[in-house]
């Protein structure tokens, strides 16, 4: 249609005696490839007055709360969040904020304030001041964003991206809905197409590329964490992975390292998007699934091999621990799918049983690697940048490991239970000492399951020794002799919903109804 409109416009222009003053209903964008045309539409609904003060009241409330600290809070956002998830150009933002503050939308500032609050105590300038209540702060930011979505602009998309990267997680349903709205708005504004096709300025191309990849990351990792199919389909977008040239020049080496971390996260996300169809597609061919999953595993191995040594094993670089956790989680997902594929074969044959046993062993090892990595985290990593989706994924990985514990042989089961107890204790430590909110969801969903495993094991151990076994989950549990304990006698009926073989990676929606009335980041 764009080509038809351009030809029609050329014809009418050549036969138009005078230039018309009427507004045009469409706008042609210069392009080096196929033509691009945008239709001019009204921002808001017809008959509803456009609110030019969207989010203003919420912004004023938050700025009254933070007072003189608002500049420090914005700087904290760019230091801790935007450096690792570069949705905004820092130099351009501060220039606009100083010279034309009215051009910075209220919803954008509200989300910046709210998202930076989680790092309040890590700021030398702010830590001696009272930290604003995160729930109240996020409720104001969410309300401002909802008003802004009534008549969205490009700035609305920036605000929504920051809203989705915010922590702690207070409203799952809001987040899932916002991802859908964000992707739909991005498509309508053409962000899914390579900006190099147009004659836009270099800065605009870089801004659009970074913004699209932030949206793409949200959509892909939200799909992984929340158990919903992704909205973005790779066949419909052609924005290349950003390069270092897409980032503003950084004089700070840490900022440069953070940008490199983001680039490798983009590459990993593209691999994840290739794996998600095996989770959600209803038309997978079982005969080719295992072969395709092996290719995905090889691609992950190549990604790891090409990773700089400074980013391996959860480096101290900004966002490094988040990146490594994400890699381990994608590897675990791939192996979970491989085990499912192996389980689909005729279980009566020796080869199929051996294949399933082999895949289960690999699955247990990958889950253990992820849990061991989390347990080994240091204070600097806990205070670093984490995608909020990692909270969901950590809970799902723990549930998978619980499943592995039930299916494992006696000796392997001993090790699984010990690892789960160590994870439980360490997450509680992270929660109490460092207020690490990523641990909250895992403890909420898995604490009772781990405690039951520990309790039953202690009882078995006490029965063998003629004692009363008591577990306090402090890591000092005495394990029974695996050759003397009949683990098949365990009653796991209460855990059936979690530990029975699952057809897909679908764990997140089990708690949505309990959060439906909440609003938050």
Helix (H, G, I), strand (E, B) or coil at 83: coil
Which of 358, 383, 424, 403 lies closest to 495, judged by CA? 403
| pLDDT score of 30 | 59
Q: Write out the chain's pLDDT in tens, 521 residues.
A: 666 656 667 666 665 555 555 556 565 565 556 666 655 666 566 655 555 678 999 999 999 999 999 999 999 999 999 999 999 999 999 999 999 999 999 999 999 999 999 999 999 999 999 999 999 999 999 999 999 999 899 999 999 999 999 999 988 999 999 999 999 999 998 999 998 877 678 999 999 999 999 999 999 999 999 999 999 999 999 999 999 888 877 667 888 889 999 999 999 999 999 999 999 999 888 788 999 999 999 999 999 999 998 888 767 788 999 999 999 999 999 999 999 988 877 665 666 778 888 999 999 999 999 999 999 999 999 999 999 999 999 999 999 999 998 888 777 888 898 999 999 999 999 999 999 999 999 999 999 999 887 776 666 555 555 554 445 555 444 434 433 334 344 444 444 444 443 333 343 333 333 333 333 44
Q: What proportions of the chain, in percent to the nearest 5, are helix, strand and coil?
A: 65, 0, 30
Could you tell me if 157 and 211 are in contact, meaning their C-beta atoms sit under 8 angstroms apart?
yes
Q: What values do phi and psi take at 410, rounded to 5?
A: -55, -50
Sketch the domain layout of the chain as residue ranges: 2-39, 63-246, 256-366, 388-521
Length of the chain: 521
What is the C-alpha to C-alpha distance for residues 264 and 105, in angstroms, rounded to an integer?
31
pLDDT of residue 11: 61
Q: Which residues contact 168 (CB under 8 A, 6 or more apart)?
A: 118, 134, 388, 437, 440, 520, 521
C-alpha 137/C-alpha 109 separation (Å) is: 12
């Amino acid at each position: 249609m764009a080509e038809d409109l351009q030809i029609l416009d050329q014809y009418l222009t050549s036969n138009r005696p005078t230039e018309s003053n009427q507004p045009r209903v469409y706008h042609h964008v210069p392009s080096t490839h196929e033509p691009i045309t945008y239709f001019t539409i009204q921002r808001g609904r017809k008959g509803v007055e456009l609110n030019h003060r969207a989010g203003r009241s919420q912004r004023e409330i938050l700025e009254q709360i933070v007072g003189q600290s608002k500049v420090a809070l914005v700087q904290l956002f760019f230091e801790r969040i935007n450096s690792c998830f570069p949705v905004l150009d820092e130099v351009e933002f501060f220039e606009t904020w100083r010279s034309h503050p009215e051009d910075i939308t209220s919803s954008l500032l509200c989300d910046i304030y709210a998202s930076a609050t989680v790092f309040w105590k890590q700021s030398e300038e702010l830590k001696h001041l009272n930290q604003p209540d995160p729930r109240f702060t996020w409720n104001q930011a969410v309300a401002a964003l909802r008003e802004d979505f009534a008549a969205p602009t490009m700035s609305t998309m920036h605000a929504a991206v920051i809203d989705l990267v915010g922590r702690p997680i207070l409203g799952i349903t809001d987040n899932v809905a916002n991802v859908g709205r964000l992707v739909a708005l991005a498509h309508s504004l053409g962000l899914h197409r390579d900006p190099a096709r147009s004659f836009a300025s270099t800065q605009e191309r870089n801004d659009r590329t970074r913004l699209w990849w932030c949206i793409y990351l949200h959509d892909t990792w939200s799909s992984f964490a929340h158990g919903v199919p992704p909205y973005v389909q790779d066949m419909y977008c052609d924005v290349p992975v950003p390069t270092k040239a897409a980032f503003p020049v950084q004089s700070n080496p840490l900022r440069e390292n953070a940008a490199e971390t983001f680039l490798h996260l983009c590459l990993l996300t593209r691999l994840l998007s290739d794996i998600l169809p095996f989770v959600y597609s209803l038309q997978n061919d079982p005969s080719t699934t295992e072969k395709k999953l092996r290719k995905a595993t090889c691609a992950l191995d190549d990604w790891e091999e090409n990773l700089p040594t400074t980013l391996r094993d959860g480096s101290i670089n900004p966002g490094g621990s988040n990146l490594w956790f994400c890699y381990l989680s994608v590897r675990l997902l791939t192996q979970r799918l491989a085990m499912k594929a192996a389980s689909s074969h005729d279980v009566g044959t020796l080869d199929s049983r051996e294949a399933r046993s082999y895949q289960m062993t690999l699955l247990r090892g990958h889950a253990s690697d992820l849990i061991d990595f989390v347990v080994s985290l240091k204070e600097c990593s806990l205070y670093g940048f984490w995608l909020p989706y990692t909270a969901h994924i950590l809970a799902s990985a723990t549930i998978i490991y619980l499943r592995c514990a039930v299916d494992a042989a006696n000796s392997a089961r001993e090790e699984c239970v010990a690892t789960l107890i160590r994870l439980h204790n360490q997450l509680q430590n992270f929660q109490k000492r460092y207020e690490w909110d990523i641990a909250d969801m895992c403890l909420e969903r898995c604490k009772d399951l781990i405690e039951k495993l520990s309790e039953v094991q202690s009882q078995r151990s006490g029965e063998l020794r003629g004692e009363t076994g008591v577990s306090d989950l402090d890591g000092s549990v005495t394990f029974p002799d695996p050759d003397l304990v009949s683990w098949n006698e365990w009653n796991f009926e209460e855990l059936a919903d979690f530990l029975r073989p699952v057809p897909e990676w679908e764990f997140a929606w089990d708690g949505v109804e309990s959060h439906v009335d909440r609003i938050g980041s």
